[in-house]
Structure 1
Amino acid sequence: MELTGMRVLPEHIDANGHMNVGFYNVIFDQALDRFFKPFDLDWSYVKRTNLSTFVLETHVCYLQEVVEGDELRFTFQLLGHDAKRLHYFMEMHHAQKNYLAATSEQILVHVDLATRRSSPFLPEHQQFFAEMFAGHSKLPVPKQAGRSIGMGKKG
């Protein structure tokens, strides 16, 4: 799955002249909202059902700078799923120069906002994710997926 049409805005730029680290998470989250809209998991779904998704964990790799005005392209790959959770991987590319700027691996949970507890996805969403995973599981696992953080062995 691919998404285009997002751009680095002036307010995203830090004192180093590139996009601030915090805005990567914001923009990945905005991209996820756009990916979810066609399968009815956007804000209208939340308002209509009082169900939503919460990110449980995220791991961002910052690979190459983006600066004000750069147009961004995103990809989404489902790495795993169960009745309540999704494990997915997104890539942020510079749209014109086509380099990989950053990646974000995330796990989210489906939540009933009335109880603030995890809740199974609706059956139609579970079926949709099963079908998506059947296709995405044939793709190569991105090299940044599953990474842990650390400085390596000493000495």
Structure 2
Amino acid sequence: MTATAPTAEPFRASIMQIEPQWIDYNGHLNMAYYNVMFDRAIDQMWLQLGIGPGYMKERGGSTFTAECHVRYLREIHLGDPVQVSVWLLEADDKRLHTFQQLRHATEGWLSATSENMSLHIDMGSRKVAPFPPDISARIQTVVAAHSAVPRPEGIGRNVAMPSKR
């Protein structure tokens, strides 16, 4: 585990590059690979929280995604460097509510967002279970730090037809 003191800013994942096989016949990043990059960013943040692969192996806990809402806002193309920022918005004893933004790493424009609900799982029973107290405390520290940051636009959006005016 590489836990560090949380700061009042979203977690920023490593800069990623678009892989050639991820480009679809429209010449842009296929929708499935946005989720791959969001997932890689979450994996990096989970390491900071102490709930990565080592946690699963040593303590028998992991997380599963229960719900995901992705918004595709601007095309990403081969050669574009990207970076994901992650806000840990809320957490209780068994759930984590996160919001992610995928931005062009050098130009800064927003390409996509992903809002997720993750569940803590006891891998022995494969059922939802409370986080251990030390992990829960670490999570609440990050939630408190991230709550000091302005919330990005798009949290809590749902899929619906535009309203008529």
TM-score category, normalised to shorter length: over 0.9
Deviation at 1:4, TM superposition (A): 2.3
Distance in 1 of aligned mates of 2:140 and 2:55: 20
Q: What are the superposed Cα offsets for residues 38-87 of structure 1, whole Å, 9 maximum, x if unpaired? A: 22211121122221100010111111111112111111111111001010
Which of the numbers 35, 56, 59 marks the counterpart of 2:66? Answer: 56
* Farther off after superposition, 131-140 or 116-125: 131-140
Q: Give the alignment's TM-score, normalised by structure 2.
A: 0.89
* Farther off after superposition, 127-136 or 81-90: 127-136
Q: What are the ranges of 5 or more consecutive residues in structure 1 without an aligned counterpart?
A: none
Q: Secondary structure at the match of 1:31?
A: helix
Q: Secondary structure at the match of 1:54?
A: strand
Which of the numbers 87, 96, 102 marks the counterpart of 2:97? Answer: 87
Aligned twin of 1:30: 40
Aligned twin of 1:134: 144
Give the percent of matched residue pairs that are identical in Structure 1 and Structure 2. 37
User: Which amino acid in structure 1 is aligned with residue 140 of structure 2?
Assistant: A
Distance in 1 of aligned mates of 2:127 and 2:63: 11
| RMSD, aligned CA | 1.3
Q: Note if 1:16 corresponds to 2:33.
A: no
Q: Secondary structure at the match of 1:73?
A: strand
Distance 1:98 1:154, change over 3 A: closer
Q: Secondary structure at the match of 1:125?
A: helix
Which of the numbers 100, 107, 116 marks the counterpart of 1:106? Answer: 116
Aligned twin of 2:163: 153
Deviation at 1:152, TM superposition (A): 2.5
Deviation at 1:138, TM superposition (A): 2.1
Distance in 2 of aligned mates of 1:90 and 1:125: 21
Q: Secondary structure at the match of 1:103?
A: strand
User: Which amino acid in structure 1 is aligned with residue 76 of structure 2?
Assistant: V
Q: What are the ranges of 5 or more consecutive residues in structure 2 without an aligned counterpart?
A: 1-10
Q: Give the alignment's TM-score, normalised by structure 1.
A: 0.94
Distance in 1 of aligned mates of 2:95 and 2:102: 22
If asked which structure has higher relative contact order (CA below 8 Å, sep 6+), I would say 2
